[in-house]
Amino acid sequence: MPKNESGLPSDFHSEPTISTKRIYEGSIINLRVDTVRMPSGNSATREIVEHSHAVCIVPIDDDGNLVLVRQYRKPAEDALLEVPAGGVEEGEVSEEAVLRELQEEIGYTADHLEHLASFWVAPGWATEYMHAYLATGLRASKLQGDEDENIEVVRLPFDEAVAMFKTGEINDGKTIAALLLAQPLLTKR
């Protein structure tokens, strides 16, 4: 078998799927169990949560405040302070999802969007891939929010929000990542 520079088999970073069993299909997620072939030839199982691509947004108003949402999250059993976020719907591109989520969650649209980065949310067990954006030039524009969401809009100076994740008051991973990605751009302005 061919080997790479580190002496490992050339297919070391691959796990071909032998079989897939769908366990659950829901409106937001699906769950499947894949049996895969390991480079050693042995088989292993992988439990995978399927989720659409998603967006998260760092919206900055004309006064330089960050516009966040506080929303109760049942898995955390807490109301978390987060950047607006949501799934990319079928047929939508991420920029369209950003503008829709801004309107649904905080009642604004944005004149300027800047893609910050894209990243896997939990690659050990989920297919969710997040696209982070900076949104500026906010203008009032409300869409009806999702019926199953109870959201409070919170405005904070950007630096105060950064300090809050350092103290644990903001502890949502996508929010921390998005703020850190936006920070160098906002300190230049």
Structure tokens at 99: 């503008």
Q: Is 149 assigned a catalytic role?
A: no
Task: Measure the CA–CA gap between 155 and 158, rounded to whole angstroms.
Answer: 9
3-state class (DSSP) for residue 6: coil
Structure tokens at 23: 């366990």
Q: Which helix (H) or strand (E) holds 12?
A: none
The catalytically annotated residue of 96, 104, 147, 152 is: 147
Q: How many CB atoms lie within 10 A of CB 92?
A: 16
How many secondary structure helices (H) and strands (E) does the chain include? Answer: 3, 10
- Across 55-91, b (16+ Cβ under 10 Å) vs e yields bbbbbbeeeebbbbbebeeeeeeeebbbbbbbebeee
Task: Measure the CA–CA gap between 104 and 107, rounded to whole angstroms.
Answer: 6
Active site residues: 147
